[in-house]
Structures are given as structure tokens and as C-alpha cells.
Amino acid sequence: MALLERVASLLRANLNDMIERAEDPLKMMNQVVLDMENQLLQVKTQVAIAIADHHLLEKKRAENLAKEADWVRKAEMAVGREDEELARAALARSLASREMANSFDEQLADQRAQVENLKSALHKLESKLGEARTQSDLLKAQHRRARAANKAADAQISTPAGLDRVREKVERDASIGIARNEPLTGEDVEERFAKLEKQEEIDRLLADLKSKRSA
């Protein structure tokens, strides 16, 4: 994620080293603080979005679990009416709903990890921003003392030669997409066995239903 890369770049910055190398430390620190504040707002937004996506995935998983239970209920009804073909169809639907719920389990795990990464980045950036603000305040105080001590100083405050490089490093926006590739393959031996195992699972579930019904 490009946002996390930009945040990581800010977190790696050695503020003391940047101050020592800058031609205009105060101006440089003001820019760093501004960059961090902007990134902080973006991270907060992404945290909110990630949490919302997590809730949505949880909702979809619960919906599929409910569908699974409903199809099992319908299969039991079909067994009661001695309609084995309809019972098999209902059990197949219940297995499909269970598989869908399991797929949401995997997505939920990935989403939880993303939420935690964003929260961690947010907390670290807040801490780094506090450090940068403190450094900026110290530089402002030093600047005021220097001006008071020597009002006739003719030192010119120039734009830091390295500021452009710092800004480019902070503001770079590498586009890293998160792609979920869904491989498309034809039916092979493994798929045939998977279908066979699913059919056996349906047979087992049907037999259990019949056994419960007869009991």
C-alpha cells in the first residue's frame, strides 16, 4: 500500500540528522510537520475504511452461515416428504453456502491484519508527529533568541538545497495495487475427486437426516 510506504518513509526519518544537514532547519521542520499532519489524516481515513470493510465481510459471512442452516432445514423437510432428489439439491446448496462462509473467513483474516497494520502506523505516526512538533518548537525558540541577540545579523535564510529531495521522498506516491488473482483452471483429476468427495458428503448428510427422521 502506497500510503503505508509513505508513512514508513516519514517514520524512518532521523529528525536530528535532517536538522543538522538542512540549510534552513526551521523551514525544513515546518514542512516535515505539515507532511506528517497530511499523512496522519489519510491514515485515519484508511483505518475507518478498513474497519468498515471488516464489518461488511463479517456480515456477509453471517449471511452465508444462515443460508447454510436454512438449506439444511429444507433438506430435512424434503426427507420428511420422502423426496430424496430435492433433499440432495438442498444439501448441495448448504455445502455451497458453507464454502462461501469459509472463503469470507480467509478474507476476514487478511482484513484484520490490514486494520492492525494501519492502526499501528497511525500510532507510530502520531508519536513521530509529536517529536517533530517538539523539534519545530525548539527551533523556533532558538531562532527567536538568535534574532534578539543579533538584530543586525545579515544571514540570509535560503531555501534548503536538500529540501526538494526530502519532499520528494516524503510525498512519493508509488502505486501498489492489492490484486487478488483468481486462477482459472479446467476440470482436472483433483477437481473430479473434489466433486466426488462433495457427493459423498451429501450422501452422508442425507443418510444422517434419514436416520434422524426414522428415529
This prediction's pTM: 0.58
Q: What is the pLDDT confidence band of residue 151, given thresholds at 50, 70 and 90?
A: low
Rounded average pLDDT over 167-187: 46
Asked if 139 contacts 25 with a C-beta cutoff of 8 angstroms, the reply is: yes
Q: For 66-122, write each residue's pLDDT tens digit.
A: 999 999 999 999 998 889 999 999 999 999 999 999 999 989 999 999 999 999 888
The pLDDT score that the predictor gives to residue 193 is: 80
The distance in angstroms from the start CA to the end CA of the chain is 57
Question: Is residue 161 classed exposed, middle or buried when 0-12, 13-18 and 19+ CB atoms within 10 A define those classes?
Answer: exposed
- Return the percentage of the chain with pLDDT > 70, whole number: 80
Q: For all residues of the chain together, what is the average pLDDT?
A: 79
**Which ranges of 14-171 does DSSP label H, i.e. alpha helix?**
15-21, 25-80, 84-149, 163-171
The pLDDT score that the predictor gives to residue 208 is: 83
Higher-confidence position of 194 and 68: 68
Asked if 19 contacts 28 with a C-beta cutoff of 8 angstroms, the reply is: yes
Q: For 120-149, write each residue's pLDDT tens digit.
A: 888 988 888 888 888 888 888 887 787 777
| Measured distance CA(133)–CA(26) in Å, rounded | 11
Q: What is the pLDDT confidence band of residue 58, given thresholds at 50, 70 and 90?
A: very high
Asked if 19 contacts 138 with a C-beta cutoff of 8 angstroms, the reply is: no
Q: What is the pLDDT confidence band of residue 32, given thresholds at 50, 70 and 90?
A: confident
Name all contacts of 80-83 with Cβ < 8 Å and 24+ positions apart. 80/213
The pLDDT score that the predictor gives to residue 172 is: 54
